[in-house]
Chains A and B, each alone.
Chain A
Amino acid sequence: MFKTLKNTWWAQSFQGESGQALRRQVAKFFYVIFASLIVLSIIFTIFFKVTKLSSAYSGVGFLAKLFLLFFAGYQDNGWSVGEFPKIWTFYLLIGLASALCFRSRIFNIGISGQLIVAGTVAINLLKHFEGTTQNNVTTAHFFLVLFLCCLLSSFASLLIGVLKLYFNTHEVISSIFLNWTFYYVAKHSFTVGRYAAASPTTKSVALAYTTLTNNFFGAAWLHWMLLTLAVLLALACFVLFRWTTLGFKLEAMGMSSKIERYAGFSRSRQTLLALGFSGFLVGIAAFVYYVLKEQEFRVGFGPEVKGFEAFGISLLAYNSPLGVVLTSWFFASLDVQSLWVSTATLEINSEILTLIKGTFTIFAAVATIFDRFKLFRSLKHTFLYLKADKKFLPTYFGFKKQLFLAVLRGWFQSATIFGKTLVKRPTIWKQQKKLREFTTQYLWAAQTDDAQKEQAFLAYNKMKKTVELTLTQAGYYDQRKHTQRQKLLRKTLRYELSVYKNSLLNFQGNN
């Protein structure tokens, strides 16, 4: 069975030299997740300690609870079951749109603006249809709105491409400025326009409740169908980049700035295709988000924040269309759970969950730090050595033990407090103790008795010899091995000896 699996194309793409990049990517994905989980658990532990709230959870316990809720939460309340496919579809489509542009090295910040364009038109048109049909909007009306969403969003996206290609405006400038322009136009239409917000504080325009009851687009199965469609689109993108010339041309554009001159294709055509298709995807996403999920348009303080999460989704997946499916599932699960789970079960504010998204994005952005981190390879090598040599493991662990002890010893040796060692201290300590005994026994006795003076000097010389012997044995007189710390030690010992010698001499002089 394994042999047949090994011969399939997807297994082969992991094997050999050509599959090394793919293997590295998959490994890095797991390293990113593990690293961010470790960091998150530390952060949450500190956060709960500082705020002295929800002591029931440590950092790790909190994360475990959260991940259990990822799967258990859907059964607990009916609301999240209905919302989940919509949010997943939305994140999947915008992540795909962003990944498409990133692959051909176009930085499409305009996703937010395109969402606003499509959402504004959709909500306005549906409000208009509600008025004309007395809240009986038919399925055909919805399809018209969906079509217009895709069309307008594509145009908004193509505008960035046209400005980039024919007017030499960098796409970062044009997309940021168009985002703000579209935002103000939307704000105008929803505060001063025909369908203005009911209250100026909320600044949101909601669809009538009847639009989505007893309707084709209100059915739950359709949302799952839309999700399937989005996944199929991701698959289509995968096929496009893997097997078609068009996909390779798009990818080649990202490789070099002048590659089209060598390969012989039109750069402008490819750019417009990439931007137009990503705009089309954003159009569907806007329809799913504004019409099906939110059923209203909320005017915030700037361009739609949800649009900027597309970069995080596509970055975490390394711009791979199939990876986007997984990462968007992750983001959508966080979103679904955040509202009711955070407040009721986990006792934390829903905004804290932005920490989780943020940490994953950061580690995905700096995934290159894991380039030289080869856990599986070292495990595999250990296993192979073990297989070849039965004695390998004992020697391996023996070596490890020795290494560990050496490191420990080194640590103790380096842990000096004002020049005094922790490990080498006992040997010198003994000598110092002997010196002290010498003073108490002989010197104080010699105060009264002259006969003991000679004995005292003899004893002192003997002591000096033994001290110097121990010092030479310990390598303190070997000039090659001297370190600063050893020099200091020698100095202090010599000083101590000289003090005793002087005391002896003074004692002589006094008599």
Chain B
Amino acid sequence: MSPIRHAACFLGSLALTVSVGVVLVSSQSADAAAHAQPTCTNTEAGAISGRQVDDYTRTSGGTRADVRVIVNDDVVCQHVSSLFVWNGLGGAEFGYVIGFSNCTGYTGSFYENAKPFFFVRTAPGTQEGCKLFGGINLPQGTYQSMQTSDQNGDKRWGPWLNGEQLLPGDQGYVLDFNQGMNGFGMERGNGPDPGYSRNNNLEEFHNSNTWTLWDNISQNANSDPRYVLKKWSLHSGGTVEP
């Protein structure tokens, strides 16, 4: 079993009473540089995602968090930090990208400033839609309140940034689900690209029109040899460990 696999298992073994945040940090692997890719055509130098798993989460109508925009001058291909609601093979994702975007209509340009994007995929996992908000620059080193939801129950999913609905009215995506599982993720495009990602105050939206903090966090997947998932207490400021 790999160290990372152990780390995921370790996170699942917690039995604590804390408020938590999530951060993805470098494992400082000695052989990291040796895995660098020669071009930007491979966007999956690494990705880590986590999810909330409990009976309530599976009926979530939205996810939100205070997402850290990394202080970064090092992106050569891509860095993505994002939030999800998953259903089947589909989902609704809101996050930001630095570097090259994969959004249809926005590929081929390198974005030095963090740009919000909204990405959806239908439940069978066969079609997807994406919109990038090129007119918005998210300042480095700030926390941005990001939310993906169908909060008003009109079955149109959309992104919210610092309380502002970015796709109001009929601009949101009509999807074939109205609830799902909460998640968050980090992706980086190439070897040197930073994977640091940080989410504070992860919350979920309930059918009862309330937002509550996530109460269980576990790793969903980790394909990155250099980064691991860590949780920490917002009360103590320390990492959550057994």
A-B interaction: no
